[in-house]
């Protein structure tokens, strides 16, 4: 895959239909670390568990941006408590806002991760 990269790692360069454009690739949903953008088939938000975020947890970010689709919806408190117990924060917002925040925060050199639900 030819992914758009900079010193800040993979970057969402736009939105295409209900997906996130990174370089020439469109992801309906994705997991991002400072090193990689990975396709993701997320569970329903109400069923989201720490296991679904394991690739992000393994990257040991300061916090995870959770984009919950077209609107902000909170995941189970078990998710935020589980991440907090591992020393990882959780910032929840709609997926477009999370994708934009990713670029800004990575531009600042922050070590973060993101889980983005589909836009529709």
**Angstrom distances, CA of residue 40 to CA of 32, 109, 117:** 10, 24, 8
Q: pLDDT of 19-30, one tens digit each?
A: 999 988 999 999
Which uninterrupted H or E stretch holds 99? Answer: helix 95-107
Q: pLDDT at position 4, please?
A: 46
105 is written with which tokens? 């925060």
Q: Is 79 helix (H, G, I), strand (E, B) or coil?
A: helix
Q: pLDDT at position 6, please?
A: 47
Q: pLDDT of 79-112, one tens digit each?
A: 999 999 999 999 999 999 999 999 999 999 999 9
Report the largest interatomic distance among the alpha carbons of the chain, rounded to a whole angstrom.
37
Q: Quick check: 67 and 114 in contact, CB under 8 A?
A: yes
Q: pLDDT at position 17, please?
A: 81
Query: Which of 109, 104, 102 has the alpha carbon at shortest distance from 31?
Result: 102
Res 5 pLDDT > 60: no
- Range in 4-8, 31-35, 107-111 the model is least confident about: 4-8
pLDDT confidence bin for 16, thresholds 50/70/90: confident
Task: Indicate left, alpha or beta for 41 from its phi (over 0: left) and psi (-120 to 50: alpha).
Answer: beta
CA distance 91 to 59: 16
CA distance 40 to 113: 13
CA distance 90 to 95: 14
């Amino acid at each position: 895959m030819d992914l758009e990269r900079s010193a800040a790692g993979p970057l969402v360069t736009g939105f295409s239909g209900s997906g996130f454009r990174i370089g020439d690739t469109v992801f309906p949903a994705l997991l991002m670390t400072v090193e990689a953008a990975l396709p993701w088939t997320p569970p329903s938000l109400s069923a989201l568990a720490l296991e679904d975020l394991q690739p992000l947890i393994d990257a040991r970010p300061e916090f995870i941006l959770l984009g919950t689709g077209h609107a902000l919806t909170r995941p189970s408190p078990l998710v935020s408590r589980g991440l907090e117990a591992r020393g990882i924060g959780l910032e929840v917002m709609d997926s477009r806002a999370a994708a934009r925040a990713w670029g800004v925060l990575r531009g600042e050199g922050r070590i973060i991760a993101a889980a983005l639900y589909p836009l529709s």
